[in-house]
Structure 1
Amino acid sequence: MSASFPAPALSHIDVAGGGSPRRIALYVLPAAAGNDLPCLVWFGGYRSDMTGTKAIELESHAAAIGAGCIRFDYSGHGSSGGAFSEGTISRWLEESLAVLDHVGAARMLFVGSSMGAWIALRAIAELRKRGEGGRIAGLVLIAPAPDFTIDLIEPALTEIERSSLVERGYFEEPSEYSAEPNIFTRALIEDGRDNRVLTGIVETGCPVHILQGMADPDVPYTHALKLMEHLPSDDVVMTLIRDGDHRLSRPQDISKLKEAVSAMLGIA
């Protein structure tokens, strides 16, 4: 973490929905005195946590421009409690909304990476249902993976994986980013169907900037193009990075992320 600003203290909130209490860890960087920029909110990806490069760099950028910033871990991730195997989009969405309600920022700019883009889109939909859509100032999506369980996982399942889902309730696959395999549960996949967003027009009511690597082995850039087609009523910009991978954590990728955030905030 950058030494140019004091690190916020780790705090926790308790979320008890779904009959399974879990403690959610978060860091909240307060805005500089007199600064009225929207608070930056980080939505991490599947099996990632709030100590990753992009999350830390986003907080560093927030500190540099005087904005507030929220980082948090879903249950079963990083410093939060709860079992990863019990995680679903609905569960992680509930925790995300609980964090937003706890902090209570008047205006926010969401930054969602991979699965986090899906949860950010669902969070915006829920806030709009409450009549709180005006709190969302913008949305930056990195290698967005909305509906990934339906569009990317289910069509590629092997017979062995299908059998494992039926018999064991989950299947495993090797991870390029960890020695531990990725685990996908039947509950996650079934719940994903209930949280689909790419079924019609997606209305966020805010400007959207998508950053997508064209060499992404996990979420093809055509998936980002599909998302863009479902955002006809929003001001959408897409930046395709020809040699970019799924993580988009290289220095040049981080620079593009910070530029996208600054542009959305109207900062030169």
Structure 2
Amino acid sequence: MSLPVQGPDPVLIDVGAGPESRRIALCVQPAPAATGQPALVWLGGYRSDMSGTKAVELARYAGEKGHACIRFDYSGHGLSGGRFIDGTISRWLEESLAVIDHVRPERMLLVGSSMGGWIALRLIAELRRRGEGGKVAGLVLIAPAPDFTSELIEPNLTDAERASLETLGYFEEPTPYGPDPNIYTARLIEDGRRNRVLDGIIETGCPVHILQGMKDPDVPYAHALKLMEHLPSDDVVMTLIRDGDHRLSRPEDIEKILSAVAAFAGA
């Protein structure tokens, strides 16, 4: 569910050059004082935006506890420009890095939902490559879907979907989350292979808390367990929610998410 964007008015930044340029909308909610607490950075899921229930609740929590909060929409999502059909993990990762570079938080806690969990893992890898991994206080991953294109989509493609990818460059799939179908492009799937994280040890250099519903129809909890196997050297905690679905947006789910945030954010 999406709510009206609350808090500061969104600002726009340009990412990319030439035909790849797109305008990204972000909301930066500053901390009320210089407390030294990490900024909370929201990384949304596929076709989600910064006005979703979890994002808004995170911003509310940040305001109550004195954290800065950074929310934004990927290109093709919400208030941002660009076409959704042009989206890839690399493209959305570039935008995530651009937002971080624009705001320049001294410390941050990455909170990634579904595909945002994949983006969070790729984002911290890029920050560590740049020598900035120490800025990340922790990762809170909600129903994380790393490598979902190659792990969850490609193995289950029907003959009709494969044919559509070859002839049209995309296929559509009905979704219970809205009237419009999900669109998966050949470009997204090909780019997903280049951004795989479940093919070796994942070094985050920070604590990780995974929250996963056991009744998630989109990302099986076995996928979260597989992710844990690739995080052997980190301080990793998993909370399995027996009756939880993929969204984890019920009040009791939000409470668990914010408790995980509080454990890493110091409030």
Shorter-chain TM-score range: over 0.9
Task: Provide, for residues 153-177 of structure 1, a one-character-per-residue CA deviation record: whole Å limited to 9, x for no partner.
Answer: 0000000000000000000010110
Hey, what does 1:195 align to over in structure 2?
Answer: 195
Q: Report the AA paired with residue 241 of structure 1.
A: I
Verify the 8 A CA contact 2:37 2:266 in the aligned structure 1.
no
Hey, what does 1:246 align to over in structure 2?
Answer: 246
Secondary structure of residue in 1 paired with 2:211: strand
Question: What pairs with 1:138-153 in structure 2 (closer than 5 Å)?
Answer: 138-153=138-153
| Residues 1:119 and 2:119 are matched in the alignment | yes
Hey, what does 2:219 align to over in structure 1?
Answer: 219
Task: Provide, for residues 161-199 of structure 1, a one-character-per-residue CA deviation record: whole Å limited to 9, x for no partner.
Answer: 000000000000101101000000000000000000000
Question: What pairs with 1:73-84 in structure 2 (closer than 5 Å)?
Answer: 73-84=73-84
Hey, what does 1:179 align to over in structure 2?
Answer: 179
Hey, what does 2:43 align to over in structure 1?
Answer: 43
Verify the 8 A CA contact 1:41 1:110 in the aligned structure 2.
yes
Taking structure 1 as reference, are residues 215 and 18 closer, same or farther at Cα in structure 2, changes over 3 Å only? farther
Task: Provide, for residues 22-69 of structure 1, a one-character-per-residue CA deviation record: whole Å limited to 9, x for no partner.
Answer: 000000000121321000000000000000000000000111110000
Q: How much does 1:17 deviate?
A: 4.6
Q: Report the AA paired with residue 148 of structure 2.
A: F
Hey, what does 1:13 align to over in structure 2?
Answer: 13
* Alpha-carbon distance between aligned partners in 2 of 1:180 and 1:72, rounded to the nearest angstrom: 22
* Alpha-carbon distance between aligned partners in 2 of 1:117 and 1:33, rounded to the nearest angstrom: 29
Q: Report the AA paired with residue 259 of structure 2.
A: E
Percent identity over paired residues: 71
Uncovered stretches (5+) of structure 1, i.e. residues with no partner: none
Task: Provide, for residues 127-146 of structure 1, a one-character-per-residue CA deviation record: whole Å limited to 9, x for no partner.
Answer: 00000001100000000000
Task: Provide, for residues 220-250 of structure 1, a one-character-per-residue CA deviation record: whole Å limited to 9, x for no partner.
Answer: 0000000001001110010000000000000
| Residues 1:89 and 2:97 are matched in the alignment | no
* Alpha-carbon distance between aligned partners in 2 of 1:232 and 1:78, rounded to the nearest angstrom: 36
* Alpha-carbon distance between aligned partners in 1 of 2:138 and 2:171, rounded to the nearest angstrom: 36
Q: How much does 1:9 deviate?
A: 1.7
Q: What is the CA RMSD across the aligned residues, in angstroms?
A: 1.3
Q: Report the AA paired with residue 162 of structure 2.
A: R
Q: Report the AA paired with residue 173 of structure 1.
A: E
Hey, what does 2:229 align to over in structure 1?
Answer: 229
Q: Which runs of 4+ in 1 moved over 2 A?
A: none
Secondary structure of residue in 2 paired with 1:151: helix
Q: Report the AA paired with residue 205 of structure 2.
A: G
Secondary structure of residue in 2 paired with 1:123: helix
Verify the 8 A CA contact 1:14 1:24 in the aligned structure 2.
yes
Q: How much does 1:264 deviate?
A: 1.2
After the TM superposition, which of the residue ranges 32-41 and 80-89 deviates more from structure 2?
A: 32-41
Hey, what does 2:165 align to over in structure 1?
Answer: 165
Taking structure 1 as reference, are residues 222 and 11 closer, same or farther at Cα in structure 2, changes over 3 Å only? same
